[in-house]
Amino acid sequence: MARTRTEMQFFAKPQTLEAEGCYAITFFRPTTSNPVNVSGFNIEAGQSLSIQQNVGDEDHTMYDIVFYSGAATNELFVTRILPE
């Protein structure tokens, strides 16, 4: 069985995020956040985008995080499961 660690991050500005060989990644947009797009996929308020790899596969994608203007603040929470 593989050893893993869970990493949680918060983003409030547009940037690129490297998956760094993770087994799974989740992007969560709170209901109070401005609209956000992750690599061409709009995440609705209060919803998440989850991507999981097949057993033995790793994710090395570069994800583009883009916030759109609105009356709220920019908020995006990212959780990754990485190999130890």
- pLDDT over 90 (residue 56): no
Average pLDDT over residues 44-73: 96
Task: For residue range 4-29, list pLDDT tens digits in order.
Answer: 999 999 999 999 999 999 999 999 99
At 1 the pLDDT is: 65
> In sequence order, what are the residues at sequence separation of 6 or more whose Cβ sits closer than 8 angstroms to the Cβ of residue 23?
2, 4, 52, 53, 57, 58, 59, 81, 82, 83
Going from N- to C-terminal start, the domains of the chain cover 4-83
Higher pLDDT among residues 55 and 8, named by residue? 8
CATH code linked to domain 4-83:
2.60.120.10
User: Per-residue pLDDT for 78 more than 70?
Assistant: yes
Tokens, residue 31 = 């209901």
